[in-house]
Chains A and B, each alone.
Chain A
Amino acid sequence: MRFVEIYTICLTFLCVSAIAPATLAQESPARYYEQHYFDVAVSGGSGKFAGALAWNHLHGFGKKQQRFKAGYGVRFTGFVAANKYYTTAPAKYTSTEQNLGTIFSKTLQENIDTITTATAATYSVNLAVYLQYTLRPRLDIGVNIDLLGFSFGSEKRFNILSSVYDAGQAPVQQASPTSFNLLLTSDNDKGSLNSEFYIRYWLTEKIGIRAGYTFLFSEYRTKQNLSFDNGRIMNDRYRYKAAMALVAVTFKPFGKS
């Protein structure tokens, strides 16, 4: 869990810092059209899989080599998983703080309820921010994270596993992917968001391969608010946090690596 928190912190800083350099870089000598990246990524882990298609545009900054690049893009992510536990999502239940401090705050285990489905599948289209550094002429490292967008997917049947599920409610509930996605840091986030940390090697000037780590949130919303612990917790948002290995291919049709 500690690694996940550190990873989230890094992504947050990178996300914030990406916006300003991207603006400054308008004056850089790199031609705009040369910095288009098209990317196909697959990520996997035990009983879970994600595929992502992305376009992004990076702005180099610096006077000569422009090793630092920052930019923006659009990413489609499809996530499927078998037999995973989705847990209470809203930070007001999971954390003692509902701000940037959520990352550092203690998780309130007594407020976490669990629901599960045989096959989860969420699909999202999000705006994303990207940061990249060129270590060597053919070697980049980078991170990216989804900022906001929307999700879709079919309705699924979830079993409620909580021991404090209030009586009078069906033990099986219908839920759909949360429609609106928004990055607000850690458990404050809403919806389904993807992020990647990667290292990339350019095979040619136009084609590169990436390997790294994917961390994404997949979120479902039950059709009705579910009541737990004699009504103390009323919630309809449930999240699964997926950490997976990543491989990808990048195509840069108009420029050099």
Chain B
Amino acid sequence: MITRLQWVIISSMLMFACNSEDKPQPVNTIVEPPVTNPQAGSSSSAGSFVSYEHGLAGKVLLYIDTTNVITLRLEQFTMTQGPDVHVYLSKSSNYSAANVLEVTKLTTGFQGSSINFTFHDTRYTAAHVFVLVYCNQYNSLFGYAELQ
């Protein structure tokens, strides 16, 4: 009885929650070419996602060129769609507004995609060694990758 009551209440509160997967969702299967011919002096690091929600999976690679332009590449990236989902570079594996730099917002689901995001942020430091996929609206960490 309690379980049913709880389910009804929570469902009404979270009609469009991050873990709602009732409706067909757009899925992106884009495959962009890998970053090639990195400049001399540039650095790179890589990691794999640890998943908590939305079937998150894949690898992440980070390139920083000599002008501090950052390219984040998600490879074989899979995730079901959620609202208000962002990719962050973070100083810690957990989300904290004080520790993150936003890379991009993800508005679709992904299936085996490979995508490049290029950006420049003067706040970036070598301490930003985690990549988070995070739903802001419901404070839900889909997963993280540690760059090594």
Contact = CB atoms under 8 A, between A and B. Distances in A.
Do A and B interact?
Answer: yes
Interface of A: 47, 49, 51, 78, 80, 82-83, 116, 118-119, 121, 123, 157, 159-163, 165, 167, 170-172
Given A78-B2, A171-B94, 4 more contacts: A78-B5, A116-B139, A163-B98, A171-B95
Given A116-B139, A161-B139, A172-B141, A167 B13 contact: no
B36 interface: no
Given A80-B6, A165-B92, A171-B93, A159 B14 contact: no
A82 B96 contact: no
B72 to A, nearest CB: 19
Nearest to A166: B92
Interface string B42-70: 00000000001000000000000000000
Interface residues of B, number: 25
Contacts of A116: 139
A170 B50 CA distance: 10
A161 B92 CA distance: 10
**Main SS at interface, chain A:** strand
B102 to A, nearest CB: 16
The listed residue with most B CB atoms (<10 A of its CB), out of A51, A116, A163, is A163
Interface of B: 2, 5-6, 9-10, 13-14, 17-19, 52, 92-99, 137-141, 144
A241 B136 CA distance: 22
Given A118-B19, A161-B95, A171-B94, A82 B13 contact: yes
Contact of A123 (B2, B13, B14, B144): B2
A16 to B, nearest CB: 33
Pick the 5 closest A-B CB pairs, nearest first: A171-B94, A163-B96, A163-B98, A82-B13, A160-B94
B94 A80 contact: no
A157 B94 contact: no
18 contacts: A82-B13, A82-B14, A83-B139, A118-B17, A118-B19, A118-B140, A119-B13, A119-B14, A157-B52, A159-B141, A161-B94, A161-B95, A162-B94, A163-B99, A165-B92, A170-B93, A171-B95, A171-B141
A116 B94 CA distance: 12
A118 B138 contact: yes
